[in-house]
Amino acid sequence: MTDTAMAATALGKRFGRRGGWALRDCTFRLPAGRVCAVVGPNGAGKSTLLALAAGLLAPTEGRVTVLGGDPASARARVGYVAQDKPLYPQLSVAETLRVGADLNPGRWDAETAGRIVAAGDLDPGKKIRSLSGGQRTRVALALALGKRPELLLLDEPMADLDPLARHELMGTLMARAAQYGTTIVMSSHVVAELEDSCDHLLLVGGGRVRLAGEIDDLLAAHTRVSTTAGSTGPTADGSPDGSADSTPGGLPELAPHTVVESRVTGRQLTALVRPAGPLADDWRTSTPSLEELVLAYLRNPQAAPLTPTEPEEAAV
């Protein structure tokens, strides 16, 4: 038993010798028992990261460990649902669950798998190929949870589910995490949905980890500020209406804080910063929501990352 569910050190993956890096220099540690959101723009490297953790891809450089060992040795204890939810199309729903039982002797939780399928009103005799995308997702999640995994890797699990199914299956996942201490790592583009369910965040962009840590810690490290910019006149930025986004670090009023995003509208300056010390008394401050934080980093790919440099460091 280890208190680390997943750790990466200088992890990198390049597809083909001449291909670009899908993932590069990723270092982070995910404690066991957490529900972790992996977010980032299209092509950021989220699926690549999950496939490396599942042992379906081999790193080009660096290392990833899951449940204290290499991904191949942990496979029996890890559930993985890939983005395209691969299943055998010619099998029926019931046959698919039987395969799950056969492949996981001594671990298979038939009751949970059956309950997930039944909640979707699925005919057990229906072939996988005739199911809708959302119904297939339900069967894939039933298979993954039936395995009683210690770590669940889910690549956009909610993408094709209707709102009720999303709510129900998210509830099932959260109950699993709370009852059995299952670690869940799931990629998603719907950040607003993650705030209540996830406690850890990995924000990936351009193949690099840009934010990594407990969501509460990450939110506490950032402050939304607004102030009247004394030296910044209506057209100081050169825009005709005096409204402009600024590049991080570009405004002297915000020094020495790390600026993730700033905007000047007339004489009004608003910004999301990582304070490097006390903030000026006349600044109005508030804590950002998770969605605000993620959107600010997504809009500003040049903002300085906030990640541990060594996996061990994140344990403190």
Closest approach, Cβ 191 to ligand ATP, in A, equals 13
- For 199, the token pair is 């406690």
Nearer to ligand ATP, 42 or 302 (CB): 42
Minimum distance from residue 242 beta carbon to ligand ATP (Å): 36
157 in Cβ contact with 144 (< 8 Å): no
* Cβ within 8 Å of residue 97, ≥6 positions away: 110, 113, 114, 117, 124, 139, 142, 143, 146
Q: What's the min distance (Å) between Cβ of 20 and ligand ATP?
A: 6
Tell me how crowded residue 37 is: count the other CB atoms within 10 A of its CB: 25
Report the interhelical angle of 133-146 vs 93-103 (nearest 10°): 20
Q: For residues 175, 179, 182 and 188, what is the CA-based torsion angle, rounded to 10 degrees?
A: 20
Residues 24-63 that bind ligand ATP (CB under 6 A): 40, 42-48
Site residue total, ligand ATP (CB under 6 A): 12
Measure the CA angle with vertex 297, ends 52 and 65; round to 5°: 20
- 302 touches ligand ATP by CB under 6 A: no
Q: Of 11, 22, 87, 184, which lies in the binding site for ligand ATP, with binding defined by CB under 6 A?
A: 22
Strands 21-31 and 4-14: antiparallel
52: its two tokens: 């490396």
d(CA 153, CA 167): 18
Contact positions with ligand ATP (CB under 6 A) in 81-120:
83
- Minimum distance of ligand ATP from residue 57's CB (angstroms): 8
Q: Which residue, among 62, 69, 118, 57, has the nearest Cα to 93 in the 3D structure?
A: 118
Binders of ligand ATP among 176-205, rule CB under 6 A? none
Cβ proximity to ligand ATP, 14 vs 107, nearer residue: 14
- Shortest approach of ligand ATP to residue 42 CB, angstroms? 3
Shortest gap between Cβ of 23 and ligand ATP (angstroms)? 7
- Residue 12 binding ligand ATP, by CB under 6 A: no
Nearest residue (CB) to ligand ATP, 108 versus 297: 297
Closest CA to 190 of 216, 153, 161, 217: 161
Shortest reach from residue 187's CB to ligand ATP, in Å: 6
> Does 105 sit behind a cis peptide bond, omega within 30 degrees of 0 on the bond before it?
no
Residue choice 2, 19, 69, 233 for contact with ligand ATP (CB under 6 A): 19
Residue carrying structure tokens 């982070």: 28
Q: Using the minimum distance from each CB to ligand ATP, give the nearer residue, 206 or 266.
A: 206
Q: At its nearest, how many Å lie between ligand ATP and the CB of residue 71?
A: 16
Does residue 15 bind ligand ATP (CB under 6 A)?
Answer: yes
Task: Pick between residue 146 and residue 207 the one whose CB is nearest to ligand ATP.
Answer: 207
Of 113 and 194, nearer to ligand ATP (C-beta) is: 194
Q: Which residues bind ligand ATP (CB under 6 A)?
A: 15, 19, 22, 40, 42-48, 83
